[in-house]
Amino acid sequence: MQPIDQFSDPGFKVLSERLRSFPGVDLLIKTAELNDEENAKAAFTAFAWPEQRLFRIDSPAQAALSKLYMSKQASIPTHVRNTCNKALELYGISLPGE
């Protein structure tokens, strides 16, 4: 199954489900930029999984949103999860584990 992130979730169905598991994070993620054009222009280093251009981590809001999307997805490699967790740590954000 193809991983889903904030740029591949039509209608934000997955996001709606995940928000129930992470109460209070909605205030943080509401500042995340979800423009496909901006995502396409983002630097390779803006992603936790740069080879796939998935899971943006270049802002606190994007990193938190990526963490939400990673939860409950078994197909996400450990190094991608670790990169996202490191970004959250650098931003001083603590979210519940998976």
Domain layout of the chain by residue ranges: 10-91
Nearest-angstrom CA–CA distance, 38 and 6: 13
Residue 18 sits at φ, ψ, to 5 deg, of: -65, -35
Q: Residue 97: name the closest of 68, 59, 54 by CA.
A: 68
- The DSSP 8-state label assigned to residue 48 in this structure reads E
Bridge partner residues of 54 (DSSP): 49
68 pLDDT band (50/70/90 cuts)?
very high
Higher pLDDT, 54 or 36: 54
pLDDT in tens, 19-31: 888 878 888 898 8
